[in-house]
Chains A and B, each alone.
Chain A
Amino acid sequence: MAEPLLPSGFDELEQFVEYWVRDTNNERWKQRSKASMEEIQRFYDHMLARAEDAIAHLDAFPLDDMPPASERLFKLLLAIAHVAMAVEMHGQPIAHRAQLRSDLQMTQGPWPFGGSSKEQSKRDLEETQ
């Protein structure tokens, strides 16, 4: 049997793994900014409904040492912070009168799964120039 994508009980969230599970804060931000409002809202509704359950499940592990399925759930949970910007603040995928841009990056995000080390991110930044 194949490894489950998410811990048991969270199967209905598996449909969101491919798009919303990302390794860094910056990527989660960019994914949300590129998504349509329908996609954002759908993920928001499903994830929010299970957010407390997810927190309860994840609390059993150290933050930076989780089984792969739980780590994916953790990253999925973190993405809800970004979709909340669109749903709860702007009512649209990105801020009003603002444009998604490649020259603006969160080059270091919160630990864990927030962002690359400083060196890596500097390289990312330079590549975008």
Chain B
Amino acid sequence: MMNDMVIGANLGQGGAKDSFTTALGLGTGPVPVDSYISPEFFELERTRVFGRAWLYVGRTDQLPDADSFFVKKIEVCKASVLVMRNAAGKVQAFHNVCSHRGNLVVTEQSGNSKLHRCAYHGWAYGSDGSLAGVPDQKNFFQLNKKECGLTPIATDVWEGWIFINLQREPEISLKEFLGPYAESYAGVPYGEGHETLVIEARFKANWKLIMDAFSESYHVPAIHPATLAPGFSHPVHNKYARPLSGNTFGLHSAWSAYGNPEYAPPPNSEVERLACKVDTGGLLGSDVNDEVLRLRAHPAINPTKETCWSADVTAIFPNFNIDYSTGGYWTHEFWPISRNETHWILTIRIPKANSVRRRLQLEHYAARWCEIVLEDVTNCESIQKGLESGAKDVMYLQDGEFMIRHQQEILRKWVNAQTVAEAMK
């Protein structure tokens, strides 16, 4: 198992001095690309990865009160998951499938209800999943209502993040699954009462291609020359946007992104100036406040404590990122639909607007995000086409792309392993 390791970047003269890849015990050779295009590989991902790993489905603040619920479709496992908070406050997920004849019970995305009634014949379920009512029950044969509740799905919560496991009897607990990641990131502050922004896309590329796009900053100068490069690279000190640190935590991994400390809106950027007048944080849209200071003080965040730090990207296997920055935090969900189709959800949490100018700044921030992801998504589809051609059997990963290598290694283990215990070795 890979250790918890941190290597500093000594970035003074531009980029990492040490190799993250070798220090983390990862290989350095070319990496096969079959995992992006092979139908057989995808089938194994479906059953052995998504069918056995703990999967992120939502955050506890989406269930603010007793009887709150939301529905999460997990298309890769063909599951409709109903996540509810019961009267006692406990969060539990169920298959959103009626015990009578299998209809999907809840059709709203989210809400609050003590009772969920199936539209077909009216069987009703409580917020604890129990079967509460059956119309014309007398006409059934020895119906034991106690046995006919919704089918529970293994559920656990870490730091407010709700995870489920679709195995009937999970082979691994969430605690073991998160392992050293959970220990390192325990107690990281998440902003309270934040604004939630959501950007979603469905597009034609393997799910890992969009995940890869957020696993490295090597592409930033080329793909995001106007939107990101000025803030996240430096013409002299960090021309290629090298990461500041790199880490693995068992199945999971993290890297710290460089931020250009000299960044200021270019002279022609009148609107950026106008919008950011109240602000000291620049590109990521933050003020230096208490919350940011507490975040920066956490040992797992920017672990080498570089001054030119902008954000940490952390990847929780298989398809969930939590990223922390000076201006709030955001998450990515990379959901496969099929071998070459993905539903990707970016959720950004950032302090709410309290003035017209601050609201304009948020619009500017959101607009910039939209541009960035448009660049990424367009590029992912282009890679899928390139790989589908069969021209290449392997890809060559540089040191700054260690997270992709790590993900590929872990993924292959899970795909090949008969049991989770074997995959965890």
- The verdict on B360 contacting chain A, using a C-beta distance below 8 Å, is yes
- The verdict on B103 contacting chain A, using a C-beta distance below 8 Å, is no
- The verdict on B145 contacting chain A, using a C-beta distance below 8 Å, is no
In the complex, chain A residues whose CB is within 8 Å of the CB of B379: 97
Residues B375 and A98 in contact, CB atoms below 8 Å apart: yes
- The verdict on B5 contacting chain A, using a C-beta distance below 8 Å, is no
- The verdict on B74 contacting chain A, using a C-beta distance below 8 Å, is no
Residues A84 and B359 in contact, CB atoms below 8 Å apart: no
In the complex, chain A residues whose CB is within 8 Å of the CB of B377: 101, 104
Residues B360 and A78 in contact, CB atoms below 8 Å apart: yes
Residues B271 and A104 in contact, CB atoms below 8 Å apart: no
- The verdict on B110 contacting chain A, using a C-beta distance below 8 Å, is yes
- The verdict on A94 contacting chain B, using a C-beta distance below 8 Å, is yes
In the complex, chain B residues whose CB is within 8 Å of the CB of A25: 363, 366-367
Residues B356 and A89 in contact, CB atoms below 8 Å apart: no
Residues B375 and A119 in contact, CB atoms below 8 Å apart: no
- In the assembled complex, the Cα of A64 lies from the Cα of B253 at a distance in Å of 41
- In the assembled complex, the Cα of A129 lies from the Cα of B204 at a distance in Å of 12
The B340-370 residues at the A interface (CB cut-off 8 A) are 350, 352-357, 359-360, 362-370
- Taking A51-B274, A89-B227, A118-B198 as contacts, is the C-beta distance between A109 and B366 under 8 angstroms? yes
- The verdict on B203 contacting chain A, using a C-beta distance below 8 Å, is yes
Residues B366 and A110 in contact, CB atoms below 8 Å apart: yes
Residues A118 and B366 in contact, CB atoms below 8 Å apart: no
- In the assembled complex, the Cα of A74 lies from the Cα of B185 at a distance in Å of 40
- In the assembled complex, the Cα of A103 lies from the Cα of B195 at a distance in Å of 23
Residues A109 and B203 in contact, CB atoms below 8 Å apart: no
Name the contact of A63 in the complex, choosing from B268, B271, B272, B353 (C-beta under 8 A): B353
Question: When each residue 57-71 of chain A gets 1 if its CB lies under 8 Å from chain B and 0 otherwise, what string results?
Answer: 011000100000000
- Taking A88-B269, A118-B109 as contacts, is the C-beta distance between A104 and B199 under 8 angstroms? yes
In the complex, chain A residues whose CB is within 8 Å of the CB of B275: 81
In the complex, chain A residues whose CB is within 8 Å of the CB of B261: none
- In the assembled complex, the Cα of A111 lies from the Cα of B272 at a distance in Å of 19
In the complex, chain A residues whose CB is within 8 Å of the CB of B10: none
Residues B201 and A104 in contact, CB atoms below 8 Å apart: yes
Residues A110 and B363 in contact, CB atoms below 8 Å apart: yes
Residues B356 and A59 in contact, CB atoms below 8 Å apart: yes
Name the contact of A103 in the complex, choosing from B202, B352, B356, B360 (C-beta under 8 A): B202
In the complex, chain B residues whose CB is within 8 Å of the CB of A52: 274
Residues A63 and B356 in contact, CB atoms below 8 Å apart: yes
B320 → A minimal CB distance (Å): 18
- Other contacts beyond A111-B195, A119-B110: 10, CB < 8 A: A28-B367, A82-B363, A85-B368, A88-B272, A94-B374, A97-B375, A104-B200, A109-B363, A111-B352, A114-B362
Which residues of B approach A to under 8 Å, CB–CB?
108-110, 195-203, 223, 225-227, 266, 268-272, 274-275, 350, 352-357, 359-360, 362-371, 373-375, 377-379
Which residues of A approach B to under 8 Å, CB–CB?
25, 28-29, 44, 48, 51-52, 55, 58-59, 63, 74, 77-78, 80-85, 87-90, 94-101, 103-112, 114-115, 118-119, 121-122, 125, 129
| 8 shortest interchain CB distances as A-B pairs | A84-B271, A110-B362, A108-B198, A81-B363, A89-B226, A81-B364, A104-B201, A88-B269
